[in-house]
Amino acid sequence: MNKNFDNSLECAQQLDQDDPLAFLRNEFEMTVTPNGDEEIYLVGNSLGLLPLAARDYMNAEINKWGRLGVRGHAETDHEPDHPWSTYHEIMNEQMASLVGAKPEEVVVMNGLTVNLHLMMVSFYRPNKQKYKILIEGHAFPTDHFAVESQIRHHGLSPAEALITVEPRPGEELIRAEDIAEQIEKHKEELALILLPGIQYYTGQVFPMSDIVELGHQAGAIVGLDLAHAIGNIPLDLHEWSADFAVWCNYKYMNSGPGAIAGCFVHERHLNRSDINRFEGWWGTNAETRFEMETVFDPIPTVDAWQLSNSSILSMVPIRASLNIFDLAGGILPLREKSEKQINYLDFLLAENLSEEIEVITPKALPERGCQFSLRITAQGKDGREVFHELEESGVSCDWRYPDVIRVAPVPLYNSFTDIFRFVEILKRILRPE
């Protein structure tokens, strides 16, 4: 038994009392059941909760629109306020800190898949020798779709140009040595490596720095899909020297359904005259933009990849969420709390349901984020039915085919009591009296 935990409600309550970040929960609106009871919200890996400040920020911009109209692009009428033309820039430093980048290397724009396509326009430049792309075999479908369509766009066949790395037979996780083996095996033809920071189904953290190093040794470009990593685990994109990365902001970044996404390009690729890039008016030098010249004058930062001005109203929740990360002291204190919550949930599941469930997420803390991927092994219990029973019992989680229930205690707003109550409900479902 873990000496820091026991199997009681009092233990959970004491852990909450001792939690220096417990106050952050009050910065969010907790969801409720149809009966009006507060839910146990464990699905921040799919959609984060609403930051309360987002309403005030949103109302401020709507009111500004009403008062100033078009002048709002250049003027401010309340503090703290920012003109719309530079609104995206005010978040660069905060966003950069969460991915381990320089402010000039990150930008908020578009959606994840759009950004992925824009990155491949620049960084997937196949030739007769180097034309293959390496992804994981069970990658989130958008990665498959984007990569395969880019391959076809270049007149190539995915059957020839697409390489996948898979778990070994009978295993759930992808071994680091198997990724390395695929890179080495195909290094002469490998043009691009695109792998996730965290695998969406299993919750496995990939060895990102090692992948970047091995990819560059093979002469390949390395891009990372951070949809499940940003706001979840510490990242260090600049030091790892990743070429590019993309992410969404609606999961752990709590920026609302369909939120504008984010993008990273390493500084060595910035302000290059030889880079291939889809270009738009908003990527031009702000000082000369309104001179309406037809010669592209790129901004000397990742902003050069912007095609058009982003929706201000869609960026507002991102600002509200980033400010909460600042209140927490950044990602490191949150990760410290997350690791404690991971250990606590591991303990409760082992103590109470070791014969009824299988946790397919890696055991070692460096190899996992806050997501638990659970497979129901209790005799006579169907996993999808158990998922529906959890939902009916006031637990928000999600189901991923073929047979996994995903739950994610998010340290920004989930309490240790949430975790305890979840296990008690799951125990009641799997061990009915």
Point out the domain boundary residue: 285, 303, 327: 327
Which of 327, 361, 384 is the endpoint of a domain?
Answer: 327
Helices and strands, counts by H and E, the chain? 13, 15
Q: Is the CB of residue 218 less than 8 Å from the CB of residue 239?
A: no
Q: In angstroms, rounded to a whole number, what is the distance separating the alpha carbons of residues 420 and 425?
A: 9
159-183 tens-digit pLDDT: 999 999 999 999 999 999 999 999 9
Statement to judge: residues 228 and 362 lie in one domain: no
State the Cα–Cα distance between residues 192 and 135, nearest whole angstrom. 9
Instruction: State how far the alpha carbon of 83 is from the alpha carbons of 54, 86, 95, 250, 256, in Å.
Output: 17, 6, 19, 24, 22
Domain of 312, in residue numbers: 63-327
pLDDT band at 80 (very low <50, low <70, confident <90, very high): low
Say if 55 falls within a structural domain: no
Confidence class for position 289, pLDDT limits 50, 70, 90: confident
Task: Give the whole-angstrom CA distance, residue 88 versus residue 22.
Answer: 30
Say whether both 311 and 425 belong to one domain.
no
Angle at 33 between CA 29 and CA 35, to 5 degrees: 120
User: What is the domain count for the chain?
Assistant: 2
* pLDDT tier at 140, thresholds 50, 70, 90: confident
Which of 52-61, 74-83, 208-217 bottoms out in mean pLDDT, i.e. has the lowest? 74-83
The answer to whether residue 254 is domain-embedded is yes
Using N-to-C axis directions, what is the helix angle for 112-123 and 141-153, rounded to 10°? 40
**38: in domain:** no
What are the residues whose beta carbons fall under 8 Å from the beta carbon of 207, sequence distance 6 or more?
Answer: 176, 179
DSSP, res 167: P
% helix / strand / coil in the chain, to the nearest 5? 45, 15, 40
Q: Which among 180, 184, 179 has a CA at the least distance from the CA of 167?
A: 179
Is residue 357 in a domain? Answer: yes
Last residue of a domain, one of 327, 359, 374: 327
Give 273's pLDDT tier (boundaries 50, 70, 90). confident
Residue 53 has pLDDT above 60, yes or no: yes
| Per-residue confidence band for 78, with pLDDT thresholds at 50, 70 and 90 | low
User: Is 79's pLDDT higher than 80?
Assistant: no
Q: What is the CATH number of the domain that holds 426?
A: 3.90.1150.10
State the average pLDDT over residues 335-361. 97
**68 and 156 inside one domain:** yes
In the numeric block, which tokens belong to residue 110?
A: 């578009």
Q: Do 245 and 374 belong together in one domain?
A: no
The CATH code of the domain that includes 157 is 3.40.640.10
Q: Per-residue DSSP letters for 371-421?
A: -EEEEE-STT--HHHHHHHHHHTTEE-EEETTTEEEEB--TTT--HHHHHH
Co-location of 362 and 323 in the same domain: no
99 within a domain of the structure (yes/no): yes
